[in-house]
Structure 1
């Protein structure tokens, strides 16, 4: 039986184009065969801001990584703008659907070196790093204008996550998949992350989509317009919508 998660009841969402659609996706533990994500249908429309909550080990990260096509699916498929994502189109899909992990992986060097790195990849050929824009994003997160010159090895946990988020936001993805990006961060750093994401979404709210995995119900209420829950690999609607 497939677990179907209905789309938002708000009419403007129903009339919005689909960005990402999961059709019967399944993930199993490759070692034990245990089902980590039960067969799930899911749709993210342009303009959607969703939060996914649930206990640890419920499958929240598994679901997000499956949507990002970072792990192989055991069944089902992912569609992008109504078209199935094929192997040859995965790089383009990942360019538009960006996954931000809980613990960022940074390169040696400065913050700017880390921000410049994506532009060395084939997927971003023809685009250039914009230091002015990156500096503005850093300042929006409460960091001084010389933040880009700091060594990555000297960053706090919050600063490392801000760097990782700016690295993604400067590339203008259409969808953000945020896997507990503020877990273990101090309140000030968490607020900076929320502000950056809100600015990104609001700039083109009718065209973008957001899924934020959080263990904090209060944060889920702040960052999302609708809440889903994950329990034992089953995705479903929260009992009450986020206000």
Structure 2
């Protein structure tokens, strides 16, 4: 493994301390710029555990992560999370408009040096097939698909380098799922080969559409990679 990777996991592992159950076997993983990786597997196989570990949302029992060739130390985690963004299956939005929700990250200290750009937000909404008026909708009036699009736009407007998607379309209808896929594809292509993604999915057909490398999770173990042809 070399510094040519954006993100590396070296022997990361997780256990359930209450039951002493292994959630994630010691795992090595590397993500290069321009890669789109999908992870499939049965429910309970450890897919979400892996993704949350890569996002440093849960403490690791062993191993460590490397970002641009440098180990991620505790004090660097906020900066790391700025560049490695995690999107969960069920988004958390607060009462207000879509724009209010999009503005929220800019109130956090980690983003004190950047400002909300409505033009950029509208451009992202349009890439998902929504008009500029979408930003004026109330969060309580959004469908499940629209709520997920809002959460995704909220992440993408911050220009992460790596996107970790934890079954973001599992509860959406096919049209909404395709809108999410289209928005992620537009973000990836705008990065001109500098961005990468890891998409956890329960749908093998979707995994084939959204990735160029497919992995399988079984009982906390990540399989060898498999090269696949991208389907649009």
TM over 0.5, shorter chain:
yes
4+ residue segments displaced more than 3 Å: none
Mapped partners of 2:224, 2:78: distance in 1: 31
For residues 9-60 of structure 1, give each alpha carbon's deviation from its aligned partner in whole angstroms, at most 9, with x where no partner exists. Answer: xxxxx9x821111111000112111100000111111111100000010000
Match for residue 228 of structure 2?
Answer: 242
| Root mean square deviation of aligned Cα | 1.3
Map of 1:191 onto structure 2: 178
- 1:112 equivalent to 2:70? Answer no
Say whether the 8 Å CA contact 1:220–1:242 is kept in structure 2. Answer: no
Give per-residue Cα distances to partners, 1:82-126, cap 9 Å, x unaligned.
111111000000000000000001111110010000000111112
1:78, 1:64 → 2: CA distance? 12
SS at match of 2:48: helix
Could you give the per-residue CA deviations for residues 190-232 of structure 1, whole angstroms, max 9, x where no partner exists? 1110010001111114211110001111111111001000000
2:142 matches 1:152: no
Shift of 1:144: 2.2
Unaligned runs of 5+ in 1: 1-6, 8-13
Aligned to 1:4: none
Q: Does 1:32 align with 2:9?
A: no
In structure 2, the gaps of 5 or more residues are: none
**How many residues matched?**
229
TM-score (norm 1): 0.91
TM-score w.r.t. length of structure 2:
0.96
State how 1:171-186 maps to structure 2 within 5 Å: 171-186=158-173
Taking the TM superposition and a 5 Å limit, the aligned residue runs for 1:219-230 are: 219-230=206-217
**Contact 1:182–1:190 (CA under 8 A) maintained in structure 2:** yes
